[in-house]
Structure 1
């Protein structure tokens, strides 16, 4: 494949803007990994449920998502590994919440709040 310097550019400022917007390619790879995790309907269901509950334990999340506790635990392990959720312990119960504001914003695009919510 020819290098960028060997190629004829139609609109160099647009190419520069595209490259500036792309930024660090490692970050793009990281987000591609996150999106691949989000592509699973069960995991996305869990994230939406967590978002609306604010924080929730595995057994309650399993009921809300219509999944088994084991399936929820396995999915949460993957979601934590990809930095999509965090957990904290209160006594013997572990509660999960979305990891950051970016996840909240993404969920709003998947399932936007209505004015009644």
Structure 2
């Protein structure tokens, strides 16, 4: 029971070995928060649709993403802004057109599992 934090040590424990394995599996709170944040980005159907489109079709512009997903341009732009801030996608300017692509390797792997 060496992994049980002191503030939880007085609680009833049935299987100390498994409790330690569970604590080890959970890992650091910061890592859990990072995963939760990633999953929250994917939990929105609009953002997930955008990410799936970008993953499968490659770099796309806002207007093309709007047509592909059935969203309007402002909603696509807003979702992409959030995904850019989270460093999940990047926009690459080609003349007057900005095309977006997924760059987060973990999100890419999750998208591969979905498709």
Q: TM-score, normalised by structure 2?
A: 0.82
Match of 2:3 in 1: none
Of 30, 39, 43, 2:43 maps to: 39
Cα separation, 2, equivalents of 1:47 and 1:28: 22
Match of 1:16 in 2: 20
Cα displacement (A) at 1:101: 2.2
More off after superposition, 43-52 vs 84-93: 84-93
RMSD in angstroms over aligned alpha carbons? 1.8
Q: Residue 87 of structure 1: SS of its match in structure 2? A: strand
Unaligned runs of 5+ in 2: 1-5
Q: TM-score, normalised by structure 1?
A: 0.81
Count residues with an aligned counterpart. Answer: 110
Cα displacement (A) at 1:83: 2.3
